[in-house]
Amino acid sequence: MIPERKLSSTKKAVFTSTSRLARALAAGKKRLGIGRPRSGSGLPARKSIVTLVWVRRFAQTFFFALFTWLLFETTFRGSFASSESSVRLPYAVEGFLLADPFVAAMTLLSTHTIYRGLAWSIAVLALTLVFGRVFCGWICPFGTLHHFTAWLFPSRYGKGTKRVESNKTHERRQRVKYYLMVGFLAAAATGSAIGGLFDPICVAVRAIGLGVIPAAQYVAGVAGQGAAASNIRPLQSASDVTQDFFAQAVWQPKQFYFHQTWLIVVLLAAILFLNRFVPRFWCRVLCPLGAFLGVFSRFALFGMEKDHAKCTDCNLCLVHCQGADSPQGGVKHRQDECHMCLNCESACPEDVIKFRFLPKRVSTTREPDLVRRTTLVTAAAGAIAIPASRIADVIDANYDKRVIRPPGSVEEREFLERCIRCAECMKVCPNNALHPAWFEAGIEGLWTPILIPRIGYCEHSCVLCGQVCPTGAIQKITEKQKQGIGQKPISIGTAFYDFGRCLPWAMSTPCIVCEEFCPTSPKAIWIEEVDVPKRSPHAQENGKEPLMEMVHVQRPHIDPSLCIGCGACEKVCPVQDAPAVYVTSIGETRSTTNVILLENTSYTSGKG
């Protein structure tokens, strides 16, 4: 034995901390319900179920982390690839959208095709056919966010009876998502993938990518400025190191801004806040993807069996029920609402709930309980919404000049058939050029991508928006196609000069930054060399009019046959508030009517 005084102080510390750790672990176990006596008959849950509940928690954490990481990686950070190699993202950052069967179904109805990677959604459908809505309970990052939020803020309705009541099936409320789904699918069939406004993955990418991440960057930037102004060296360098890390791993070196993004963020906050009243309100009431999977979960091979006779109505199953799918005895289980979280079986102290393959379906309702008339009315509403929105003067007549679509976009009608407003293109755009439209493209075009050159221009050699677009609204073009190497380049608009504001034109002042930045070769901006009079700003001493002098300036002109509408000229124009050169959508390659030049006009090829 070692006499105690011979133990070094460090060893003592280790011993103390070990015992502290053991105590903390014991406390944790108690809190998690391990080792706590179970109520009622106290029958322990099956080992397999207890394990699966933990596997589910890890899966949720993993998929949420994966989603967040892919969102962070939805940006170009540069690489050591050679000068000549084409710039692409190394990962399929739009993976969660590709696996989204609701997106696949909408675009299948609108375009009659399954675009490329969307075939992955069949895997999620297959998973649903075997296990039910495991996507909702185990995989969906937005679902996990709600699961977490509902756990974090249950304050008022989080305890006892109120909590049990809030987790009981609420028929009228939970039908809403099916009607939404039906309406959106009908709208897709009549030509608009507008359901992307409500698709959970789209909502998550849009709200986190365009709202939460830029806001966090803004706050970090303000903190960084504070640190820089503090003149405390260690604080400054620590701040620089932190900013570098975030700029390289989370966001990008430049602060991004997004057009009218406040509503997107407010809606996210509102949806999350609703968890305070009804846990997973979004998943149970609004989510059209959940409804879509709910429709297919009727075929699931895995499901619940209940032994009603053994139920003591302790309601423990309802305490942590995610889907509000009636796990308790005495009523039928709602398989279409169940997220397969397995909390109910894990909690049940009797021998009532059993999840198994090929269960007897006597105590299960498998189909959504819908009112046929309401279903038909919502379908009709969805179907007429699109033509109704198009009688407004936004597409066919008075097409808005600000609707500058990303390069490689398909013609506007087909674009609306495909675009699910997921905001992947806006997130990936390295110049912060793409923004969620407000009402520029009509109510139907809300949050579809438009280019706002004053905030950022379209980088000449960049085709990343097409790479990440999951539905082909922006096609996967190559640099050669975009820049027009050996072919006609892709144009997204045309630049125009406001001669009244242009420095060489109106103020006899040299400038031509626009010409310098024009990326085409030969340049679409050409220069006219002129000598023009300029008045001296000072009156002569004898009170006579100020003197005139001749100055040499270069006056810029646009060649519309070469302009690709990238907006670099507008971005760099020094006339800050209303630039002297600006881009409008006219002359876009994708349209045969929104053109200026006769040689680009053709009524033979397709619509538009």
Q: Which residues bind other proteins (CB under 8 A)?
A: 76-84, 87, 221, 224-225, 228, 239-240, 243-244, 247, 253-255, 430-431, 459-462, 503, 509-513, 515-517, 519-523, 527, 554, 572-574, 576
CB of 80 to other proteins, least distance (A): 4
Residue holding tokens 């903190």? 223
Report the residue number, 107 or 239, with the smaller CB distance to other proteins.
239
In contact, 169 and 324? CB cutoff 8 Å: yes
Alpha helices in 283-371 (DSSP H): 288-296, 316-319, 343-347
- Say if residues 369 and 401 touch (Cβ distance below 8 Å): no
CB of 559 to other proteins, least distance (A): 14
Give the distance, in angstroms, between the CA of residue 495 and the centroid of all CA atoms in the same chain. Answer: 30
Q: Would you say 517 or 582 has its CB closer to other proteins?
A: 517
Classify burial at 139, counting beta carbons within 10 Å of its beta carbon; exposed 0-12, middle 13-18, buried 19 or more. buried
Nearer to other proteins, 486 or 522 (CB): 522
Return d(Cα 258, Cα 96) in angstroms, integer.
23
State in angstroms the smallest separation of the CB of 238 from other proteins. 12
**How far is Cα 536 from Cα 531, in angstroms, rounded to an integer?**
15
Encode burial over 183-212: b for 16+ CB neighbours within 10 A, e otherwise.
bbbbbbbbbbbbbbbbbbbbbbbbbbbbbb
Between 212 and 527, CB nearer to other proteins: 527
Q: 76 or 497, CB closer to other proteins?
A: 76
* 463 touches 477 (CB < 8 A): yes
Peptide bond into 349 cis (omega under 30): no
Task: Write down the least CB distance from residue 526 to other proteins, Å.
Answer: 10
Task: State in angstroms the smallest separation of the CB of 223 from other proteins.
Answer: 10
Of 117 and 519, CB closest to other proteins: 519
In terms of C-beta density within 10 A (0-12 exposed, 13-18 middle, 19 or more buried), how is residue 507 classed?
middle
Tell me how far, at minimum, the Cβ of 85 lies from other proteins, in Å.
9
In the complex with other proteins, the residue whose CB is nearer, 17 or 461, is 461
Closer to other proteins by CB, 84 or 599: give it. Answer: 84
Q: Which residue, 190 or 561, is less far from other proteins as judged by CB?
A: 561
SS3 172: helix
Question: Least Å distance between CB 92 and other proteins?
Answer: 20
Question: Would you state the structure tokens that stand for residue 79, as one six-digit string?
Answer: 């690489």
Least distance between other proteins and beta carbon 138 (Å): 36
Please enumerate in sequence order all residues whose Cβ is within 8 A of that of 5, keeping only pairs 6 or more positions apart, or say none.
none
Q: 3-state DSSP call for residue 532?
A: strand
Q: Tell me how far, at minimum, the Cβ of 568 lies from other proteins, in Å.
A: 8
- DSSP code at position 209: I
d(CA 90, CA 520): 28
